[in-house]
Amino acid sequence: MKNKLNQEIRVLEEMISIHCSGMNHSKSCKECEELLSYAVKKSETCPHRNTKSFCSVCEAHCYDSDHRNAIRAL
C-alpha cells in the first residue's frame, strides 16, 4: 500500500504544480504549498487508505469544505 500512497502523493504534487503554473504563481506559492501539505497529510492519515479508490467517492470526507473545494477546482 506504500506504493499506492506514494503514487497518490505524486499525482497531488503534479496536479497542484500544473495548477500553480497555469495561474502564473511563483514556482512555489504559499497557497499551493499549503494545499499540497494539507492534501498529503490527509492522504497519509486516511482511515481507508488500504482499501480506498478515490477520495471523491469515499463516504468519509476527510477534507474540510474549503480544501475540498480547492482540490475540486484543480
pLDDT confidence band for 67 (50 / 70 / 90): very high
Residue with cell 496536479: 15
Alpha-carbon span 70 to 74, nearest angstrom:
7
Q: In 3-state terms, the chain is what percent helix, strand and coil (to 5)?
A: 65, 0, 35
2-22 helix and 30-44 helix, angle to the nearest 10 degrees: 160
Q: Where are the domains of the chain?
A: 2-73
pLDDT tens digits along 3-55: 888 898 999 999 998 888 887 776 678 888 999 999 999 989 988 877 877 77
